[in-house]
Amino acid sequence: MELHDFPLLAAVLAVATVIGLIATRLRQPLIVAFIGVGILVGPAALGWVEADGTIELLAHLGIAVLLFLVGLRLDLHLVRTTGPIALATGLGQVVFTSAIGYLIARLLGMDNVTSLYVAVALTFSSTIIIVKLLSDKRELEQLHGRIAVGFLIVQDIVVVMVMIALTAFGQRNAIGGAENDLSTEVLLVLGKGIGLLAAIALLMKFVLPRLLDHIARSQELLVLFGVAYAISIAAISEWLGFSTEVGAFLAGVSLATTPYRDALGARLVSLRDFMLLFFFLQLGAGLEFTDAGRQLGEAAVLSLFVLIGNPLIVIVIMALMRYPVRVGFLCGLTVAQISEFSLILAALGLSLGHITGATVSLITVVGLITIGVSTYLIMYSQQIWGRIGGWLERFQRVGVRQPDTDRSGDDVDVILYGLGRFGGHAADRLARAGLRVLAVDWDPYRVTHNEREGVTAVFGSAEDVHFLETLPLSRARWVISAIPHPNTNLALVDGLRRHGYEGRIMLTAHTPREVERSRAAGVDIVLDPFSEAADTALDIVSERARGEGGRSDAGVLVADPGPTAPHDGTPHDGPLSGPPDDAGGTRRAEGPPER
């Protein structure tokens, strides 16, 4: 029966949780476990759910959120540098895999039409699975991750065009071909695509920047807007004849230049992970094994070609373009499986009468084998390279080209949380000292109106552990929080430790208890600005009361402890240094830091 009632959904989630727990204890990938859950609860086993209905809708939502986040992380500078290699690799792999796959299918005794469908099905790789794995390994921002995402998007566009062409061809045959000319269909699709891109470009220029300034004032509203916007553009894309993946990706790209992209992306990570569970469940439930027993030999041959041949094709293409063999190898592993689009293509061919159910079953078995094995290959790609990299590097060409991936503009000395009165003053002092400051604030007005020289402001939250993945923690020597909330500060410290941050940390505290809690968390410097300002002010008042100081002409006394402070006696080479204060944990600033 279909998934329509609440208890059944609860049962499916409970089964997924138990099997997921077993998989993590056995150190197995959750993706493989969840596909297995889909097979278990699907028509092939328990028959709880079908591959359509509610679970399909939830799966589409998860895919939209995933591709939206990929678009959010798109770096336009790296698009210019990796775009050509992504286009060449994507199209080259499609051509060579299709040609070789067709020959293998013919050798296995298939007819021309069946061989063509099988060959095309072997060509496309799963963008959703690859992006999820690379994201889990934090390799999306690395060169091979960006190239892989680039040519996977190219593949998605190609497969959409193929399915549109097949549908138009089938319709033309059904009605005699007079009214549905294939070239007209292709031109119509191109026109729709240009219109969609133009509309998104206008939104980027005139609507989204102003709209987001108002929406970002509420964290909940920002998340709601992100999901609604991604799904809306994905739905429009599907209505125009493209896939939801393309639309969701373009929605993310349109927000990639806004100051809210990192905060929005970080907030949606947990939702992405939960919603993608339904994609893997749907994938497992949709697998058909009607003639699987009689096709294991053919499935093994085709699977070996996908697992070995596809990566080799990518390695060769990238080597010819003078990219390092290691980069080609890591990119190649991402195409060592077939896509959910391959199953959709097979279903389309069956509905058009081009292939039989046996062919659909064969493609299904190849998909199950390659998705399972390639998941392990990608998870342990670095270890595999360590074993065979020395042998592969023999084929590296002379004069290897090093792509321009310089992002030195992201280098910072200090990451400062909070641009309020104290934080803003701290940013000014640190910048005047010649330090490069990356300021993080949740107030959109402060971010968009930041005009401090030497200070880059980004929109984000100190409580969001996923947001830390977007920061250059490996290059920052100090992380300073000017936020007056102890729980938020301690959550920030915990997140920094989880992400392997090895630099110095300074927190702001307003009470002795907060000071003690911060010290217990291993913070290098705890600054109590109110106490320090009061001490400084009262020292001056005492001196004047004793007649040792003059009176201010304006009658105003300004006590400014500043943002920098001595450390606790432990020597280091950072810019913040000085003798310890006798207050036991609090520090008194003695001027701007020196480089």
pLDDT score for 182: 59
Question: Which token pair is 163?
Answer: 């399915």
Question: Which token pair is 155?
Answer: 């593949």
**Domain boundaries of the chain, sorted by first residue:** 6-393, 411-545
pLDDT score for 528: 79
299 within 8 A of 368, measured Cβ to Cβ: no
DSSP β-bridge partners for residue 537: none
Q: Is the pTM of this model over 0.85?
A: no
Say which residue, 593 or 475, is predicted with more confidence: 475
Span 233-261, pLDDT tens digits? 989 988 887 777 778 888 988 888 888 88
DSSP category for residue 552: P
List of residues 6+ apart from 255 with CB closer than 8 A? 71, 72, 208, 212, 226, 229, 261, 264
Span 7-47, pLDDT tens digits? 888 888 999 999 989 988 887 777 778 888 888 888 777 87
Q: Which CATH code for domain 6-393?
A: 1.20.1530.20
Fold category of 411-545 in CATH: Rossmann fold (3.40.50)
Check whether 540 has a pLDDT greater than 80.
Answer: no
The arithmetic mean of pLDDT across residues 557-576, rounded, is: 40
3-state SS assignment for residue 441: strand
pLDDT score for 387: 85
Give how far the C-alpha of residue 241 lies from the chain's centroid of Cα atoms, to the nearest Å.
Answer: 26
Span 60-93, pLDDT tens digits? 888 888 878 877 876 555 556 667 788 888 888 8
Span 327-355, pLDDT tens digits? 889 899 988 988 877 877 787 787 778 88
Say which residue, 346 or 202, is predicted with more confidence: 202
At 581, the amino acid letter reads D
Check whether 495 has a pLDDT greater than 90.
Answer: no
Place of tokens 């109106």: 449
| Alpha carbon distance 551, 553 (integer Å) | 6
C-alpha count within 13 angstroms, C-beta hemisphere, residue 250: 27
The arithmetic mean of pLDDT across residues 161-189, rounded, is: 60
